[in-house]
């Protein structure tokens, strides 16, 4: 994820609903059986956190690594447990240094025949460089990406679990993008702001959606949503392309009592997966991303450092975002 200053300036309370049969396994399945016994299904913070922990346990999800391969299979299997259809979109892309990298976008769909569709997305890869680390010797170390990558995916997996027990008729597509975070590292060249070296998976999917002429009413991207005491500001790319979606989500958050997390503060436009979805597909898509004006990057303190690990992910923040998104889509 990267900040741009000149491109355009250039660039959910627990939802209760009737349950039907669900399959199970670990904390997520315990959450399922609890919901079944309580007769309603709720976003479960422990379950969401367990999904984050599971991803991080594979190691850095860097293209070409064993961790990347194993985590892709884990995400596919987990989504296939909950969704009506799950597909892998494999692709190749050019990295900032000209190398060809292999990526896997993972798409899970609910209610395939529904005309009205909502797009939910997050990136699942982690950055191969700790190029914002206080120790320069760590620059070429790949990071855990617990908050920057795994947190957004963890919330979406838990939402998938809730949806699998819900009688919603809405068409929902969860897309996990790959190769969002392998953009040009700081230590390479001065020309740091090359936006197209980021978000390779969402660029590919936007040009080649999993269904030809894919349409959705709106989209919500989650990125870096697991930090303690999050501050989700209204960032410029979302304001520019999807102001109505933004206002609806922020209003819903306030109504649920999460107004201290979803703040009515504007920030500069970001280069993130939603930028390319908006520009290429025209689907109005916002970015729910925590921003921290006191850090040197404007993002959470441990952004792109070796400290972006599980100990810095707060399950309460995962639930805040999960409750709000569920309330908006259901």
Q: In what order do the strands lie in the sheet with 100-110?
A: 85-94, 100-110, 171-177, 117-123, 218-223, 285-289
Is 89 or 151 the residue whose CB approaches Zn ion more closely? 151
User: Of 272 and 323, which has the nearer Cβ to Zn ion?
Assistant: 272
Q: Is the dihedral of CA 42, 122, 215, 91 positive or negative?
A: negative
Nearest-10 Cα torsion for 163, 223, 94, 284: 70
Contacts with Zn ion by CB under 5 A: the residue count is: 3
Stretch that binds Zn ion, among 23-31, 48-56, 141-149, 280-288 (CB under 5 A): 141-149
Minimum distance from residue 86 beta carbon to Zn ion (Å): 25
Stretch that binds Zn ion, among 179-187, 192-200, 237-245, 283-291 (CB under 5 A): 179-187
Residue of the chain from 181, 273, 308, 314 that contacts Zn ion (CB under 5 A): 181
Q: CA–CA separation, 306 vs 132, rounded Å?
A: 9
Select 43 or 198, whichever has its Cβ closest to Zn ion.
198
Neighbours of 87 (CB within 10 A): 15
Token pair of 43, please? 């976003």
Q: What is the number of other CB atoms lying within 10 angstroms of the CB of residue 69?
A: 15
Closest contact distance (angstroms) between CB of 27 and Zn ion is 26
Strand partners, 221: 121, 287
Mark the segment that binds Zn ion (CB under 5 A) among 133-141, 142-150, 194-202, 230-238. Answer: 142-150
Closest separation in Å from C-beta 203 to Zn ion: 16
For Zn ion, the binding residues in 270-329 under the rule CB under 5 A are none
Q: Please choose, out of 154-162, 177-185, 212-220, 247-255, the segment that lies near Zn ion by the rule CB under 5 A.
A: 177-185
Q: Which of 153, 166, 279, 310 is nearest to 221 (CA)?
A: 153
Query: Closest separation between CB of residue 105 and Zn ion, Å?
Result: 17
- For residue 148, state whether it binds Zn ion (rule: CB under 5 A): yes
Binding interface with Zn ion (CB under 5 A): 1, 148, 181
């Amino acid at each position: 994820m990267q900040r741009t200053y000149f491109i355009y300036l250039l660039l959910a309370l627990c939802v209760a609903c009737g349950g039907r049969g669900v399959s199970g396994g670990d904390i997520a399945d315990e959450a399922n059986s609890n919901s079944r016994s309580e007769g309603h299904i709720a976003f479960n913070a422990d379950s969401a956190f367990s999904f984050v922990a599971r991803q991080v346990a594979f190691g850095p999800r860097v293209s070409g690594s064993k961790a990347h391969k194993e985590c892709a299979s884990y995400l596919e299997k987990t989504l296939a447990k909950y969704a009506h259809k799950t597909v892998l979109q494999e692709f190749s892309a050019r990295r900032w240094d000209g190398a060809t990298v292999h990526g896997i976008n993972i798409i899970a769909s609910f209610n395939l025949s529904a005309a009205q569709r909502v797009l939910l997305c997050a990136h699942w890869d982690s950055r191969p460089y700790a190029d914002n680390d206080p120790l320069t010797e760590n620059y070429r170390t790949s990071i855990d990406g617990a908050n920057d990558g795994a947190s957004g995916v963890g919330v979406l997996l838990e939402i998938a679990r809730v949806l699998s027990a819900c009688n919603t008729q809405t068409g929902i597509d969860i897309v996990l993008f790959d190769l969002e975070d392998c953009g040009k590292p700081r230590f390479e060249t001065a020309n740091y702001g090359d936006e197209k070296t980021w978000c390779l998976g969402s660029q590919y999917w936007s040009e080649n959606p999993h269904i030809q002429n894919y349409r959705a009413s709106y989209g919500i991207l989650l990125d870096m949503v697991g930090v303690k005491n999050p501050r989700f500001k209204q960032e410029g790319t979302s304001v520019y392309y999807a102001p109505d979606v933004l206002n609806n989500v922020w209003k819903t958050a306030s109504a649920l009592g999460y107004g201290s997390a979803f703040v009515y503060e504007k920030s500069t436009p970001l280069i993130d997966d939603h930028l390319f979805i908006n520009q290429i597909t025209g689907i109005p898509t916002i970015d729910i991303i925590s921003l921290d004006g006191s850090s040197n990057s404007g993002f959470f303190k441990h952004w792109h450092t070796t400290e972006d690990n599980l100990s810095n992910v707060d399950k309460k923040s995962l639930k805040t975002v999960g409750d709000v998104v569920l309330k908006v889509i259901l």
